Amino acid sequence: MNDYMRESLSYFGLYYRMFQVKKRFAPKQVSYGRNKDQYFLYYEPDRVISDKVIIWVHGGGWNAGTPRFFDYVGQCIAGEGYRMVSIGYRLSPKYKYPCQIKDVCRGFNAAVKYLKSRNIDTSKLVVAGPSAGAHLTSLMCYSKKIREKCNVDISGIIGYIGSGGPYSFRSDQGLTLSLLLDQLFKKGYDRRKGEPLVLMSENHIPMLLIQSRHDGLIEYACAEDFARKAKSVGNSCELYSVVDKKNTHSWYTAGMFLESRKENKGLDKFFSWIEEL
């Protein structure tokens, strides 16, 4: 069975697990704009085990998903003892790029301001995102041009984790990604202005790229391209290849948060890498 078919058939099991998640934590919702998707959720653990704060941006092909939909991710991360912010953004095809990256940057700035208002240390932030969220967060973290345009200060970010991200818009990309990119960008728009591989510049943030060779939607070579570019400009990068049996795109990018660290090696890698920062 090819990986695309495995991806399609994986959704039933993923949604089944989602509806079983117990809601231990009631997140605080904070708006940073007038649109209904311009908000973030803040999760406070019962017992904080680290002074690191995880800033997470959801995936969904740029055209679907909200922080509320991915509440189970916040439940998992807060359950591990980390404070967590989950940022939403306006979706395509109604809103075209660069609306999404502008929202992520604006949401990040609002989240930092909110954390400081609660007297929470913002000098140890870990930014993470799956799929479309990996694309957007990688742009914010590694494109100097975008940060300058959106007035983003990354001095407090100590690590970046991207899972299944379309970091390079390869000519051999699958049909699904091609269609999603057609929805994201206006016709005639120079897509290099939204391609992480092209826009990456040197900075201090070490990165972990989690990628599966059996993704079904995103070519493994996307992460390899990005890792090579990172090393060529002097950025620290680790490329982790998924070894779990549930290695389709949706499972290893977001579905892993439905399992425990003991069950899922990718999830354990996510947290152990943060612990070692």
pLDDT digits (tens, 9 = 90+) for 97-145: 999 999 999 999 999 999 999 999 999 999 999 999 999 999 999 999 9
Mean pLDDT of the chain: 96
Cα–Cα nearest to 233, from 123, 144, 151 = 144
Under the banding of pLDDT at 50, 70 and 90, the label for residue 19 is confident
Rounded to whole angstroms, the Cα distance separating 173 from 259 reads: 29
Q: Are 152 and 105 in contact (CB under 8 A)?
A: yes
- CA separation for the pair 186, 263 (Å, rounded): 42
pLDDT band at 194 (very low <50, low <70, confident <90, very high): very high
Question: Is residue 63 within 8 Å of residue 91, measured between CB atoms?
Answer: yes
Q: Where are the domains of the chain?
A: 3-276
1 has a pLDDT exceeding 80:
no
Q: What does the pLDDT average to over 40-63?
A: 97
Distance CA 215, CA 22 (A): 28
pTM over 0.75: yes
Whole-angstrom distance, CA of residue 229 vs CA of residue 77: 30
Q: Which fold, 3-276?
A: Rossmann fold (3.40.50)
